[in-house]
Amino acid sequence: MNAVTTQGTALITGASSGLGAVYADRLAARGFDLILVARRVERLGTLAASLAEKYGVAVRAMAADLAAPADLQRVVEELASNPAITMLVNNAGVSTLGAVVDSPREGIAAMDQVNVAALAQLTYAVLPQFKQRNRGTIINIGSVLSFHILPVSTIYSATKGYVMNFTRGLQQELAGTGITVQLVLPASTATEIWELSGVPLSQLDQATIMRAEDCVDAALAGLDQGELVTLPSVEDQVLWEQFDAARLALFAGAMRGKPASRYGVKASD
């Protein structure tokens, strides 16, 4: 199958498996050339060759560990200097589930580096050329744990909370431009991150687990429909609208210069 490439190049992080590999397949089918970024060189090379042959697009494998500063810098430079890039998919993520007191220091550092610092730096790197052309798409993969915390997800939820607020802030900054920024908030998805996090998929309620292919297809449908925030598994969109309205109401309610009456504190004159 040969695709006619008219879409430019999409750079996808965490592309060797899971959601990243599915994004690579779907975007290649849409006519994007690809730069696939991941740590696992052999798997990445196999995927790149397969997609190039299947869709007739140019696919380049870029082996990089985003937790390593030198590797991250190489990807930053690619995004800043390659004018063909029209889409960035910030999909790479690290998850180590467990109580904070029991979490290894290196696991916390890796989550902070990949989920937060790398995502922000890669976005910052690509934005200048997107703004110059007034065109481009950034897709940031968060999680429903961006707005919810479990006893074992404290650190992971904190990093994904950053992704949510960072992305929504960007959306406001870029409103009215030709740049699209989408926040994707999946729930439990059948990817390798569960095994790597220490919680096997077999321990979850199987009815709550979405196939990676279905998750990406729903997310891209949301992108096509102009959604700024896409929750692939949420049937009733009103739930998100109510959540967001409550957030705004809470912020408005905080904008007063006196202590709340329930504290019994007399305001200073």
Q: Residue 213 is inside which H or E element, if any?
A: helix 212-224
**Residues 57, 51 contacting (CB under 8 angstroms):** yes
3-state secondary structure of 15: coil
Percent of the chain beyond pLDDT 90?
74
- Position 88 pLDDT exceeds 50: yes
Q: How confident is the model at residue 267 (pLDDT cuts 50, 70, 90)?
A: confident
Q: How far is CA 93 from the centre of its chain?
A: 8
- What's the gap between Cα 78 and its chain centre? 19
Adjacent-strand bridge partners of 183: 140, 229
pLDDT bracket for residue 268 (50, 70, 90): confident
In the chain, at which residue ranges do the beta strands (DSSP E only) sit?
A: 9-13, 33-38, 59-63, 85-90, 136-141, 179-184, 189-190, 210-211, 229-230
Catalytic residues: 156
Work out the number of other CB atoms within 10 angstroms of the CB of residue 133.
13
Q: With cut-offs at 50, 70 and 90, classify the pLDDT of residue 260.
A: very high
pLDDT at 203: 63
Alpha helices in 8-68 (DSSP H): 18-29, 41-55
How far apart (Å, rounded) are the C-alpha atoms in residues 100 and 152?
8
Q: In terms of Cα–Cα distance, which of 172, 141, 146 is closest to 159? A: 146
On whether the CB atoms of residues 160 and 111 are closer than 8 A, the answer is: no
Residue among 137, 127, 31 nearest 79 (CA) = 127
Task: Output the CA–CA distances (angstroms, integers) from residue 168 to 22, 44, 48, 164, 179, in the order listed.
Answer: 24, 31, 32, 6, 13
pLDDT at 184: 98
- The confidence score (pLDDT) of residue 40 equals 85
- SS3 state at 83: coil
The whole-number pLDDT of residue 173 equals: 97
pLDDT at 1: 47
Mean predicted confidence (pLDDT) in 30-42? 94
- Token pair for residue 202? 């077999």
C-beta separation of 140 from 167 below 8 A: yes
Confidence of residue 8 (pLDDT cuts 50, 70, 90): very high
pLDDT in tens, 190-205: 666 545 555 666 666 5
For residue 80, the model assigns a pLDDT of: 98
Answer whether residue 63 shows pLDDT above 50: yes
Q: What is the pLDDT of residues 38-55, one digit of tens each?
A: 988 888 999 999 999 999
Among candidate residues 19, 16, 38, 53, the one with its CA nearest the CA of residue 217: 19
pLDDT at residue 219 tops 70: yes
Rounded mean pLDDT of 97-117?
78
Two structure tokens written together for 229: 């925030």
Q: What span, in angstroms and rounded, lies between the C-alpha atoms of 186 and 148?
A: 12
Show the domains of the chain with their CATH numbers.
Answer: 9-263 (3.40.50.720)
Per-residue pLDDT, 151: 85
Question: Is pLDDT above 70 for 212?
Answer: yes
pLDDT band at residue 166 using 50, 70 and 90 as cut-offs: very high
Is residue 214 predicted with pLDDT exceeding 60?
yes
The reported pTM is 0.91
pLDDT at 154: 87
Measured CA to CA in angstroms, residue 101 lies from 6, 105, 108, 153, 155 at distances of 50, 10, 11, 12, 11
What average pLDDT does the chain have?
90
For residue 91, the one-letter residue type is N
Q: Are 10 and 86 in contact (CB under 8 A)?
A: yes
Structure tokens at 179: 């740049």
Q: Which pLDDT value is given to residue 56?
A: 96
